[in-house]
Structures are given as structure tokens and as C-alpha cells.
């Protein structure tokens, strides 16, 4: 069995069939980066993708030339780093994945990336709002808690904001959570479905282990597990020792999220992914974006799931999360107001 068939085996077996949709163009902005390259590779291996459009401020056409030799059916094109190149890359895109921006170095928080990445995401969001206002926009660039609101504000300013089509990619948090729990319990991570809600940085990442069926993980073991899920990114930043942050696991997580959207667009029911979206769950507390389980449909967000039952410890984690998240979101909104 080919690698692509193994990886997307489920896809091949579904009754609604990959070929039932004529055209699925996926654009990646930041395609030559540490995440962008393996993410582009994984999207090239996805049989649901018909056109792969790769853009970066450097080497977009180079990465595209390389990936285009892979013998799957999709066409691949790399675009020059010019306004017209970017527009052409985005035109007709169904999904736009955005990992453009700088990663952390040891000692930095994700918020320390704000000064550089806010304007990158703002400018790329403007291009998306103009060239592909109806596309699903998947923000990977950190700090996600602020860059997603930045994108929303830009789309609002252009009169094309559709909250059902904007996603902060928090998939890596649940990927990590299922792996870390499986390591503790000696189980298959594929069967560990751990709910993680909130945002994507430190204490805003709230794992809900009580909902996972592992009530035997308690005390220090539980505290260590929660801490490892919240600060898993730091583990990678430290190990890479100044050369960046998670790229390969992130590429897998981004490809999984894009695949879920494509499955939902193809008519599959009950496609559920955690993601950071414009959410009603905590708007009464002034928190306009929140990550929780979301059912995806052909129109993007179909249903936002509640956080469910929390124990006392999880409620205190959630309270800490909401306080930080509110500030992170406000920072993004303020940035666009002051730097339109």
C-alpha cells in the first residue's frame, strides 16, 4: 500500500468518495518554512487536494518544483513574492493555511512573537479578504490567540467576515495530549481522544483529562501531565536550542485539520475537530474567541460544542485561561485598530 493510501486510507474507503468533488485548491502561505515544507508535502499526498498553491517571501517556486515531482494527481504551483503572485496564489482557494511568521527561541513566550507576526498575518489576511473572501482560513502563525482576532478584524474591515470560515489551528495540543496520555497509560494514542479547550499558549491551553476516561491519573501525575500538555511547545523549543519550534508535528496537525475540513466539505457527517473560533461560549465574559470541539460542515463551523462537565481543578484552569485569553484577543483587536 502506498504511503499516501496508508496515511489517507480512511479517505479512500469513504462512500462519498474523494472524486465526488471537482476542485479543491489549497493554498499555503509560508510554504518554504519549517512547517510550510512538510505541510506542503502532506497536502500533496492528500488525494482530496486537486491544486496546491505555494507562497512564501522566499523559495515558494523552489519548494513547488520539488513537490510537483511527487506522483500524485494534484497540480502544484509556486508563486513569486509579489502582490500579484500572492493574489494569484489565493484566487479560487478553498482552504488557506497560514504558517508564515517567525518561531520562538528559548526563553521567549508566543506573545513575544506578536511584534513581528501581527503585521505579517494582517497583511496576508488583507490579501485573503480581497482574493478569496469565502475560503476557510487556517491560522497557524503565533500567537494564535491574537493572530486569529487580527484576521477577523481585517475581514470585518473589508466587509467579508464569515466567523464560520476562520480557524485558529490548535490541533497540535490534542495531538500532544493523546500521545502524552498514551505514554503514561501504555495505550494506543490513536484511541486517546483528549479534550483540550481554551487557547494556544501556556495556561490558556486547558486539557480536560476528567472527560478522557482516565480518572486514575491523579495527584502529581495529573499535574505533570497537564503541565506537559500546556508547555509541550516549550519542550520542542528548548530541544531545538535556538533553531525554531515544532515544525514536523505541527505539519501533521495542520494537515489533519485541513483534511477534516475537506472531508466535511465532501459531505461527511460528524467531523469534529478542536479549533479556536469566534465562539459564543464565553462572550458573556468578554472572550470572543475560544477553542473547543467543533463539528465541521460544508460551510465551515457547523456546531460549537460546550466544554462539558469540569471538575474543580479544571474550573480553576479555565478561569486562569479566560483571564489571559481576553487580554490576548484584545491585543490583536487593538493592533488592527491602531495599524489598519
Ligand X SMILES: NC(=O)c1ccc[n+]([C@@H]2O[C@H](COP(=O)([O-])OP(=O)(O)OC[C@H]3O[C@@H](n4cnc5c(N)ncnc54)[C@H](O)[C@@H]3O)[C@@H](O)[C@H]2O)c1
Question: Binding to ligand X by residue 274, rule CB under 6 A?
Answer: no
To 10 degrees, what angle do helices 144-157 and 114-131 make? 40
Run of H or E residues at 274: strand 271-278
Question: Binding to ligand LMR by residue 246, rule CB under 6 A?
Answer: yes
Distance of CA 332 to the CA centre of its chain: 17
Provide DSSP, 75-96: EEEEE-SSHHHHHHHHTT-SEE
**Residues 58, 63, 64, 66: is their CA dihedral positive or negative?**
positive
Stretch that binds ligand LMR, among 22-30, 88-96, 102-110, 270-278 (CB under 6 A): 102-110
Question: Binding to ligand LMR by residue 245, rule CB under 6 A?
Answer: yes
313 assigned to active site = no
Q: Rounded to an integer, what distance in angstroms lies between the CA atom of residue 179 and that of residue 174?
A: 8
Q: Rounded to an integer, what distance in angstroms lies between the CA atom of residue 55 and that of residue 84?
A: 11
Return the closest-CA partner of residue 193 out of 296, 293, 309: 293
Q: Rounded to an integer, what distance in angstroms lies between the CA atom of residue 33 and that of residue 219?
A: 40
Select the residue interacting with ligand X from 250, 294, 304, 336 (CB under 6 A). Answer: 250
Q: What are the cell numbers at 209?
A: 483529562
Select the residue interacting with ligand LMR from 36, 233, 274, 297 (CB under 6 A). Answer: 233
Answer whether 55's CB lies under 8 Å from 46's CB. no
**Furthest CA-CA distance within the chain:** 57
Site for ligand X in 53-92 (CB under 6 A): 55-58
Per-residue mark of binding to ligand LMR, 157-176 (x: CB under 6 A): ---------------x----
Question: Binding to ligand X by residue 32, rule CB under 6 A?
Answer: yes
Question: Binding to ligand LMR by residue 214, rule CB under 6 A?
Answer: no
Whose Cβ is closer to ligand X: residue 175's or residue 318's? 175
CB of 172 to ligand LMR, least distance (A): 5
Question: Binding to ligand X by residue 297, rule CB under 6 A?
Answer: no
Residue corresponding to grid cell 503572485: 85
Select the residue interacting with ligand X from 53, 113, 150, 255 (CB under 6 A). Answer: 113
Per-residue mark of binding to ligand LMR, 272-301 (x: CB under 6 A): ------------------------------
Of these partners, ligand LMR, ligand X, none, which one is at the site of residue 252 (CB under 5 to 8 Å by kind)?
none
Select the residue interacting with ligand X from 244, 256, 295, 331 (CB under 6 A). Answer: 244
Whose Cβ is closer to ligand X: residue 210's or residue 230's? 230
β-sheet bridge partners, residue 303 = 295
Summarize as ranges the residues that interact with ligand LMR (CB under 6 A).
Answer: 103-104, 110, 142, 172, 200, 233, 236-237, 245-246
Which residues are catalytically annotated? Answer: 200
Amino acid at each position: 500500500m502506498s504511503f499516501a493510501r496508508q496515511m489517507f486510507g480512511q479517505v479512500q474507503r469513504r462512500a462519498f468518495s474523494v472524486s465526488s468533488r471537482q476542485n479543491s485548491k489549497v493554498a499555503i502561505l509560508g510554504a518554504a518554512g519549517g512547517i510550510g515544507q512538510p505541510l506542503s508535502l502532506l497536502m500533496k499526498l492528500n488525494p482530496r487536494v486537486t491544486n496546491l498553491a505555494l507562497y512564501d517571501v522566499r523559495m515558494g517556486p523552489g519548494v513547488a518544483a520539488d513537490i510537483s515531482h511527487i506522483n500524485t494527481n494534484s497540480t502544484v504551483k509556486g508563486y513569486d513574492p509579489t502582490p500579484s503572485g500572492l493574489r494569484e496564489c489565493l484566487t479560487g482557494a478553498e482552504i488557506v493555511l497560514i504558517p508564515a511568521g517567525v518561531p520562538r527561541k528559548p526563553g521567549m513566550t508566543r506573545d513575544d512573537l506578536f511584534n513581528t507576526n501581527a503585521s505579517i498575518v494582517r497583511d496576508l489576511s488583507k490579501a485573503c479578504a480581497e482574493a478569496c473572501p469565502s475560503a476557510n482560513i487556517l491560522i497557524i502563525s503565533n500567537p494564535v490567540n491574537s493572530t486569529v482576532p487580527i484576521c477577523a478584524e481585517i475581514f470585518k474591515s473589508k466587509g467579508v467576515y464569515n466567523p464560520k470560515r476562520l480557524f485558529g489551528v490548535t490541533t497540535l495540543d490534542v495531538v500532544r495530549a493523546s500521545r502524552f496520555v498514551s505514554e503514561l497509560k501504555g495505550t494506543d494514542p490513536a484511541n486517546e481522544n483528549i479534550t483540550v479547550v481554551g487557547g494556544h499558549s501556556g495556561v490558556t491551553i486547558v486539557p480536560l483529562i476528567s472527560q478522557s476516561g482516565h480518572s486514575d491519573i491523579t495527584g502529581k501525575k495529573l499535574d505533570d501531565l497537564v503541565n506537559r500538555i500546556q508547555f509541550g511547545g516549550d519542550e520542542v523549543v528548548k530541544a531545538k536550542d535556538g533553531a525554531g519550534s515544532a515544525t514536523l508535528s505541527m505539519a501533521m496537525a495542520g494537515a489533519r485539520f485541513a483534511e477534516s475540513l475537506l472531508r466535511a466539505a465532501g459531505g461527511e457527517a460528524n467531523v469534529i475537530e478542536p479549533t479556536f473560533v469566534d465562539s459564543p461560549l464565553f462572550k458573556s465574559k468578554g472572550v470572543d474567541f475560544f477553542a473547543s470541539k467543533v463539528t465541521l460542515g460544508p460551510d465551515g463551523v457547523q456546531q460549537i460544542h460546550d466544554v462539558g462537565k469540569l471538575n474543580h481543578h479544571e474550573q480553576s484552569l479555565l478561569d486562569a485561561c479566560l483571564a489571559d485569553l481576553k487580554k490576548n484577543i484584545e491585543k490583536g483587536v487593538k493592533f488592527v485598530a491602531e495599524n489598519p
